[in-house]
Structure 1
């Protein structure tokens, strides 16, 4: 997918929600979608970071984004329902949702996993994705071609020592994606997951503090797949976990 050609304005008139939009891959995705014509809804827990992305989109001549400050660890089902209702009222529909926000938790031997870390990681990486999807799908079905994209990991298809709750949560993410994709297979909603691979982000640096990030792909490098799955070119692609690298 490195070779997918991102055509100018290929996302024109689309409304796309990005979670974890304040930094890393989410930030780059939001900037890229806006550059290609989309109106972006920026969801994240740190308002200052979202405002910086907002300002950059405006400075680059993009459509005015919306900001949704929300911490997935503390958000309730009603928060997501209200957000989806507001999107429907303001925009009429939702063309795409990139569920990018995740929590790493801690890398530790399995028997040392702290219960609170386990609970928080599952809440952010699984329960929040489930509740978000439930709330957003009715609004996405109002679009002509809608794309729901989850975020997985290499440890979401093969368990790895010490990755504990994060690995388990990504297995669950892939399962959640497959269930929804199968259920909506005959609809206008396609559902997939991206495995971004080794990418230079703050989360990656936390997991691999000794790694030279200059040797890794940047968030910008992996954007072709992120754009492909939001564009109409992918309207027949569903139920897949696709590697960005």
Structure 2
């Protein structure tokens, strides 16, 4: 693979101010992409911008809350005006919510988690799909979790949101079969992130890999040369699972 496999490509990264999103945005910039970095935290975005510029890369910072769905629509319009296309969408932003019995879950927490983890990703697809189709190799990659399948007690809203996300992406991938766009899922497993610390406050973070560990695989999956569509790649075991039913 070239050391700049994403040269000349435009990439939207959500949740880019920390964790997997920050590390992936930095790695994609190092691979040549112009990063459109989306997050709520302006300070984190500015740090990312400083790092990307220090390595000779380019970024555009777009600070907003993904629950502002109209802003997602405006994002698509702004990208169209500037570039006329989008090559990469990394739907990374996610929200844990509260680990609690289903009967104790506050409605606002449920609504917020579903808004960020599910609805916002659908709105991103809705806004950016026409732009991805204008690319010679549009790549949509969404970050999921084993929680979608394990459905452990007390993790109800997070598990449900990731299961719904997987259904959305699988459906979108099927719709993209006859196009130059691919839609896939990436499960990073247990990493040293803020969300992991939230969910397991007693865990020693030094026992976990940092988000940088997964960036090589993310760059690989959003590169033009990666043509698989409708797959879920699990970083912990290195396995790729085909999600689309063949007939």
Which residue is equivalent to 2:217? 225
C-alpha separation in 2, matches of 1:90 and 1:8: 26
Say which structure, 1 or 2, has more relative contact order (CA 8 Å, 6+ apart): 1
CA contact (8 A) 1:85 1:139 kept: no
Match of 1:72 among 50, 54, 66: 66
Give 1:233 deviation, angstroms: 2.4
The question of whether the paired residues in 2 share the 8 Å contact of 1:148 and 1:190 is answered with: yes
Q: Give 1:92 deviation, angstroms.
A: 2.1
Task: Quote how far apart the aligned CAs of 1:159 are.
Answer: 1.2
- Number of residue pairs matched? 236
Structure 1 unaligned spans of 5+: 1-5
Aligned to 2:240: none
TM-score, normalization: structure 2?
0.93
Match of 2:115 in 1: 123
8 Å CA contact 2:66, 2:72 repeated in 1: no
1:19 corresponds in structure 2 to 14
Corresponding position: 1:41 with 2:48: no
State TM-score, norm by structure 1: 0.94
User: What's the counterpart of residue 133 of structure 1?
Assistant: 125
Q: Aligned pair 1:83/2:75, yes or no?
A: yes
User: Any stretches of 5+ residues in structure 2 without a counterpart?
Assistant: 237-247
Native 8 Å contact 2:99 2:154 kept in 1:
yes
Secondary structure at 1:130 match in 2: helix
- The answer for the alignment partner of 2:48 in structure 1 is 53
Q: 1:212 aligns to what? A: 204
Q: Aligned partners of 1:174 and 1:158: how far apart in 2? A: 14
Name the residue aligned to 1:169: 161
Q: CA shift at 1:7, angstroms? A: 3.9
**RMSD after superposition:** 1.1
2:241 corresponds in structure 1 to none
2:160 aligns to what SS in structure 1? Answer: helix
- Deviant stretches of 4+, over 3 Å: none
Residues 178-209 of structure 1: per-residue CA shift (max 9 Å, x gap): 11000111101100011110011011011011
Q: Which residue of the other structure, out of 230, 234, 243, is the alignment partner of 2:234?
A: 243
